[in-house]
Chain A
Amino acid sequence: MGTKRNFRIWRGDADGGELTDYAVEVNEGEVVLDVIHRLQATDAPDLACRWNCKAGKCGSCSMEINGMPKLGCMTRMSTFEEDETVTVTPLRTFPVIRDLVTDVSFNYEKARETPAFAPPADLAPGDYRMQQVDVERSQEFRKCIECFLCQNVCHVIRDHDENKPAFSGPRYFIRAAELDMHPLDAKTDRKEYAQSEQGLGFCNITKCCTEVCPEHIKITDNGIIPMKERVVDRRYDPLVWLGSKIFRRGQVPQTSVTSEHSPGAVRSNAAGGGLHSHAGGSHDPAAETQAQQGVNWHREVPHPTAPAVDASGKLPLTELTFDRAAAPSPFGDDVTFPLPPEHLNFAHPDQDQKH
């Protein structure tokens, strides 16, 4: 019943590695993880790969299959042609430990930084009352199996290690959103926190994260965009402003991400052309590389912020509804001077050599 199929699997460790070819038997109904297990039991007993549940519930078996971030246990072999070579590589955003296993500790660090649920002070255990409709929004985000595929695919940190300190990534934006929408959470500054500490402003709603989420969580539409919109109550995020002008909700342009893509440049399409780029505006890779030698162009600059827009997306031009009697700061309300040095767009020529 089995047929031989060709696999190319990345073997190696932090010091480097290469794609290794294997011809493996594949049976009806199998998934990529089965094939990896067969390889372990036969040709490659020390092939490193994470897995636990084999049912898409634990989020351990994340890998890149033909360049697409996927769960190995949920990728059926029948989705490939018989003669197609299946290439399996480790998640690219995280440092390789060995073969298909990567060091995902970045995610656990970000999880630890995100302030936890704050229980309401006046309710005893057993007295919590919430309506189903009110918990459902947060429940969507709590479906997350922490496979980190969304983290892996997000261009802000894929190939941009330097953004990692300031950017928590989609997984933790929806954690913040989940708590923000929790009917009884006692903390009220989740969105401000997302903007100021998690780097929500880096996200330019490419929706790649939503596309790869195996739990089909609408990370951008239901999590990130509402967080950005609400942040707008106090701050001005040009992207949302632009987005809500040009597109209706749910129509923000989509781009797909594959592993071959040139690093750095945020692919901007016609509609998104005016949007913020993490690479400093040049889309010529050579020029970019050159430029990077002097200045660290990947460095995220805080978004310009401006006064709040109201529900219709207009600026509140009347002092009657504005919270003070003077013009707002052109730099945004919560920017205080002097700026912390790490927010300045200057880098010492030697700084990149440390890495």
Chain B
Amino acid sequence: MTNDSHRDTSATTRIERHHYDVVVIGAGGAGLRAAIEARLAGKKTAIISKSLFGKAHTVMAEGGAAAAMGNVNSRDSWQVHFRDTMRGGKFLNNFRMAELHAKESPQRIWELETYGALFDRTKDGKISQRNFGGHEYPRLAHVGDRTGLELIRTLQQKIVSLQQEDKRDHGSYDARIKVFAETTITELLLDGDRVAGAFGYYRESGEFVLFEAPAVVLATGGVGRSYKVTSNSWEYTGDGHALALRAGANLINMEFLQFHPTGMVWPVSVKGILVTESVRGDGGILKNSEGKRFMFDYVPDVFRKQYAETPEEADRWYTDPDNNRRPPELLPRDEVARAINSEVKAGRGTPAGGVYLDIASRLPAEEIRRRLPSMHHQFKGLADVDITKEPMEVGPTCHYVMGGIEVDPDSGAAYGSVRGLFAAGEVSGGMHGSNRLGGNSLSDLLVFGKRAGGHAAGYVDQLAARPRVEVAAVETAVETALAPLQRDTGENPYTLQQDLQAVMGDLVGIIRREAELADALVRLAELRERVAKVSAAGGRRYNPGWHLALDLRNMLVVSECTAKAALERRESRGGHTREDYPTMDPQWRRLNLVCSLEGDTVRLDRKPLPKMRTELLGLFDRAELAKYLTDEELAEFDALAAADAADAAGKETH
């Protein structure tokens, strides 16, 4: 190889170097959409992913992508979608992100069709949309129950098509956009306060690689691997969250984790794997061991108006949604998860510690197979259960982190002391507030992926000089990465991971208590010492033990953020339930908890939530706002409403 692309950083390590304009870390929906946008803006773009191209977590999304296209119910509009999103997030959402998301999702979905996506269709040939928890109208564009696969494959194929253009115009597929699969980034490198590059290793060979780039887009997904029972894969170790923290960015809302109400609970080995919400959207109901359809007992006051009170009304809703209220099985996820949790605690659970989800008695077998093919397949293959004949056993599983990098809503640029860092997708925070609605993630990936990619390209354009990577920083990164291999006295990374999962699962789980959270922080501090001394057996080539050892420190710092923020927030809201503070507190709604890194300790600050614009506030009933806003805020709202009314009256008299 040439000296150009290689340079000695130390006597022993030769490091491969690449130069790009924009480096996108993560090849899920958000990362791929960002990369497409950066490439369309003419930037030389790299996509980096821990697993193979097309295997990122997005592939697992089932239910669909929420966008107010109004194909099934023409009353739907961005305003209604916005309202649902804010309600779902219990008004803690960054309103601007929720607004952009609701407005831009339809275009982003339609655009996918021009890339070759084939969604399920309505009778008049438009994209079909399905019902989902928390969405007022049928809104989720879907392909059976493999929407995530369709999304990622479509974006993957769009990237291929761009590469084919580049091959035609420049002679090489990789001329302007290149995918580095099975490559893990362990460190972001800075020049002062500006991003200068990213450092990582090829999983395959264990060789190091350095990307020099003035702009980095983080799209690394979530953190669920810190929990015992999770629907997330090994990739979800919070790398992006931790990389951002270490680079000087902030995380917000880290106390909010979504526990999906319906994970498989049996057999043990598949515990946590998701049962899509569409099962409920398509008529599935939840029953306890006594055969009772218990969700009617768990409709909270804030939702009373929208949800049916009797099974008869609920059942009519599937065919006549305009004149009936929704079945309570379709309440937002946090409500359903808590309800299941209570039933099981009250001793009305199944043998494996879940409840029954029954679709078999509700739809003909043929219809179940057609509408829920991959669920049918999954239960048949993994549990030997035929869902057209028997009910499923389900329980809550750690699914999604609402918290993430605090970003500028319009551009996706990270707040904090760093410049040139952008974030999109699950790794960014704010959009979903305290709880994400199903289906809002896939559209979030597209909307903010595009924005982050575009703004990263714009940022590169206005830079006067390219930031430079410091040799010393690279040397440190190399040492840190090699350390676990060179120690042979430390603990096995798998043991450490299990201990971490136990702490988070037992002490920072669905229901939280002050004493347990404090205990968790003590244990995390102990774990931190142990993780600092972890050792990995074997060599550098494709060594999963070593890879996990490196991921552990990311999992740990992110877990600390979650535990700290959970201890601080003394209320229950969305994905954060405190047994000792069981209700929502309007004062807390006005605050985000912001984590940053000081040296290597996590620092927590309170920061006021941006104030919603009045015309957006006006989309809600006063009665509804009263459930979320403080008295002062309500008084302000009333004053504005009165002024408006006076205004209107004034205009009429003229």
User: Could you tell me which A residues sit within 8 Å of B by CB distance?
Assistant: 13, 27-31, 34, 40-41, 45-60, 74, 76, 78, 97-99, 101, 103-104, 108, 111-112, 114-117, 119, 123, 125-126, 128-132, 135, 138-139, 142-146, 179, 182, 185
- Please state if A45 and B121 are interface contacts (CB–CB under 8 Å): no
Q: Interface with A: B82-90, B184-192, B377-385, B517-525, which one?
A: B377-385
- Please state if A55 and B378 are interface contacts (CB–CB under 8 Å): yes
How many angstroms between the C-alpha atoms of A142 and B493 in the bound complex?
38
A139 with B118, Cβ < 8 A, contacts A54-B233, A60-B51 known = yes
On chain A, the residues within 8 Å of B495 by CB distance are 41
Highest count of chain A CB atoms <10 Å: which of B52, B57, B235, B543: B52
- Please state if A104 and B270 are interface contacts (CB–CB under 8 Å): no
On chain A, the residues within 8 Å of B113 by CB distance are 125, 128
Q: Tell me the nearest residue of chain B to A78, going by C-beta.
A: B384
- Please state if A50 and B150 are interface contacts (CB–CB under 8 Å): no
A131 with B537, Cβ < 8 A, contacts A51-B234, A112-B163, A125-B107 known = no
Chain A binding site: helix, strand, loop or mixed by DSSP? loop
- B residues 106-156 near A (Cβ < 8 Å) are 106-107, 110-111, 113-116, 118-121, 124-126, 128, 143-144, 146, 149-150, 153
A40 with B378, Cβ < 8 A, contacts A53-B59, A104-B52 known = no
On chain B, the residues within 8 Å of A59 by CB distance are 55
Knowing that A59-B55, A116-B161 are A-B contacts, what are 6 other residue pairs whose CB atoms are under 8 Å apart, sorted by A's residue number? A40-B494, A41-B498, A53-B233, A58-B233, A132-B121, A139-B143
Per-residue interface assignment for chain B, residues 234 to 278, with 1 indicating a CB less than 8 Å from any chain A CB and 0 otherwise: 110000000000000000000000000000001111100110000
Q: List 16 A-B contacts (CB under 8 A).
A: A31-B270, A40-B544, A46-B545, A48-B541, A48-B542, A51-B233, A52-B59, A54-B233, A58-B233, A98-B541, A116-B116, A126-B106, A139-B120, A144-B153, A145-B59, A145-B149
Per-residue interface assignment for chain B, residues 488 to 509, with 1 indicating a CB less than 8 Å from any chain A CB and 0 otherwise: 0000111100100000000000
A97 with B173, Cβ < 8 A, contacts A52-B51, A58-B59, A128-B113 known = no
On chain A, the residues within 8 Å of B350 by CB distance are none
On chain A, the residues within 8 Å of B539 by CB distance are 46
Question: A28, A97, A135: which contacts B204 (Cβ < 8 A)?
Answer: A97
On chain A, the residues within 8 Å of B546 by CB distance are 46
- Please state if A76 and B382 are interface contacts (CB–CB under 8 Å): yes
B625 interface residue per 8 A CB criterion: no
Q: Please give the number of chain B residues whose Cβ is less than 8 angstroms from any Cβ of chain A in the complex.
A: 73
On chain A, the residues within 8 Å of B544 by CB distance are 40, 45-49
How many angstroms between the C-alpha atoms of A41 and B544 in the bound complex?
10
A29 with B51, Cβ < 8 A, contacts A52-B233, A97-B204, A119-B114 known = no
On chain B, the residues within 8 Å of A13 by CB distance are 541
B158 interface residue per 8 A CB criterion: yes
How many angstroms between the C-alpha atoms of A74 and B161 in the bound complex?
32
B538 interface residue per 8 A CB criterion: yes
- Please state if A117 and B115 are interface contacts (CB–CB under 8 Å): yes
- Please state if A57 and B60 are interface contacts (CB–CB under 8 Å): yes
A142 with B118, Cβ < 8 A, contacts A51-B233, A53-B59 known = yes
Q: Tell me the nearest residue of chain B to A179, going by C-beta.
A: B116
How many angstroms between the C-alpha atoms of A146 and B52 in the bound complex?
10
- Please state if A130 and B125 are interface contacts (CB–CB under 8 Å): yes
How many angstroms between the C-alpha atoms of A76 and B270 in the bound complex?
11
A117 with B233, Cβ < 8 A, contacts A31-B382, A45-B493 known = no
Question: A47, A116, A128, A185: which contacts B158 (Cβ < 8 A)?
Answer: A116
* A123 to B: closest C-beta gap in Å: 8
A29 with B146, Cβ < 8 A, contacts A52-B233, A182-B116 known = no
How many angstroms between the C-alpha atoms of A291 and B34 in the bound complex?
54
- Please state if A55 and B270 are interface contacts (CB–CB under 8 Å): yes
- Please state if A40 and B143 are interface contacts (CB–CB under 8 Å): no
On chain B, the residues within 8 Å of A53 by CB distance are 59-60, 233
B157 interface residue per 8 A CB criterion: yes
Question: B153, B160, B268: which contacts A29 (Cβ < 8 A)?
Answer: B268
How many angstroms between the C-alpha atoms of A125 and B446 in the bound complex?
15
Q: Tell me the nearest residue of chain B to A143, going by C-beta.
A: B146
How many angstroms between the C-alpha atoms of A74 and B204 in the bound complex?
25
- B residues 473-495 near A (Cβ < 8 Å) are 492-495
How many angstroms between the C-alpha atoms of A119 and B117 in the bound complex?
11
On chain B, the residues within 8 Å of A30 by CB distance are 267-269
List the 5 closest A-B pairs by CB distance, nearest first.
A29-B267, A46-B538, A117-B116, A116-B161, A129-B125
Question: B55, B181, B274: which contacts A52 (Cβ < 8 A)?
Answer: B55
How many angstroms between the C-alpha atoms of A154 and B69 in the bound complex?
43
- B residues 364-383 near A (Cβ < 8 Å) are 374, 377-378, 381-383
- Please state if B173 and A112 are interface contacts (CB–CB under 8 Å): yes
On chain B, the residues within 8 Å of A29 by CB distance are 266-270, 383
B430 interface residue per 8 A CB criterion: no
On chain B, the residues within 8 Å of A60 by CB distance are 51-52, 55
How many angstroms between the C-alpha atoms of A251 and B544 in the bound complex?
45
On chain A, the residues within 8 Å of B498 by CB distance are 41
- Please state if A58 and B55 are interface contacts (CB–CB under 8 Å): yes
How many angstroms between the C-alpha atoms of A47 and B158 in the bound complex?
35
On chain A, the residues within 8 Å of B181 by CB distance are 108
- Please state if A142 and B542 are interface contacts (CB–CB under 8 Å): no
User: Could you tell me which B residues sit within 8 Å of A by CB distance?
Assistant: 51-57, 59-60, 69, 106-107, 110-111, 113-116, 118-121, 124-126, 128, 143-144, 146, 149-150, 153, 157-158, 160-161, 163-164, 173, 181, 204, 233-235, 266-270, 273-274, 374, 377-378, 381-384, 492-495, 498, 536-539, 541-546
A131 with B121, Cβ < 8 A, contacts A45-B545, A55-B60 known = yes
On chain A, the residues within 8 Å of B384 by CB distance are 76, 78
- Please state if B60 and A74 are interface contacts (CB–CB under 8 Å): no
How many angstroms between the C-alpha atoms of A119 and B158 in the bound complex?
11
A97 with B541, Cβ < 8 A, contacts A41-B494, A50-B51, A76-B382 known = yes
How many angstroms between the C-alpha atoms of A27 and B266 in the bound complex?
12
Question: B118, B235, B377: which contacts A135 (Cβ < 8 A)?
Answer: B118
How many angstroms between the C-alpha atoms of A23 and B128 in the bound complex?
51
* B138 to A: closest C-beta gap in Å: 16
* A185 to B: closest C-beta gap in Å: 8
A125 with B111, Cβ < 8 A, contacts A30-B267, A74-B382, A115-B164 known = yes
Q: Tell me the nearest residue of chain A to B120, going by C-beta.
A: A132
On chain B, the residues within 8 Å of A78 by CB distance are 384
- Please state if A57 and B158 are interface contacts (CB–CB under 8 Å): no
- Please state if A125 and B51 are interface contacts (CB–CB under 8 Å): no
On chain B, the residues within 8 Å of A128 by CB distance are 110, 113-114
* B536 to A: closest C-beta gap in Å: 7
Question: B120, B163, B273: which contacts A55 (Cβ < 8 A)?
Answer: B273
How many angstroms between the C-alpha atoms of A31 and B269 in the bound complex?
8
Highest count of chain B CB atoms <10 Å: which of A48, A51, A131: A48
* B103 to A: closest C-beta gap in Å: 14
Q: Tell me the nearest residue of chain A to B352, going by C-beta.
A: A29
* A63 to B: closest C-beta gap in Å: 14
- Please state if A27 and B273 are interface contacts (CB–CB under 8 Å): no
On chain B, the residues within 8 Å of A142 by CB distance are 118, 143, 149-150, 153
* A203 to B: closest C-beta gap in Å: 23
* B569 to A: closest C-beta gap in Å: 32
Q: Tell me the nearest residue of chain A to B143, going by C-beta.
A: A139
Highest count of chain B CB atoms <10 Å: which of A76, A111, A115, A125: A125
* A199 to B: closest C-beta gap in Å: 19
How many angstroms between the C-alpha atoms of A13 and B204 in the bound complex?
11
Question: A45, A51, A56: which contacts B538 (Cβ < 8 A)?
Answer: A45
A40 with B545, Cβ < 8 A, contacts A45-B492, A51-B233 known = yes
Q: Tell me the nearest residue of chain B to A101, going by C-beta.
A: B542
- Please state if B374 and A135 are interface contacts (CB–CB under 8 Å): no
On chain B, the residues within 8 Å of A51 by CB distance are 233-234
On chain A, the residues within 8 Å of B378 by CB distance are 55-56
On chain A, the residues within 8 Å of B494 by CB distance are 40-41, 45
* A36 to B: closest C-beta gap in Å: 10
- Please state if A28 and B268 are interface contacts (CB–CB under 8 Å): yes
Q: Tell me the nearest residue of chain A to B161, going by C-beta.
A: A116
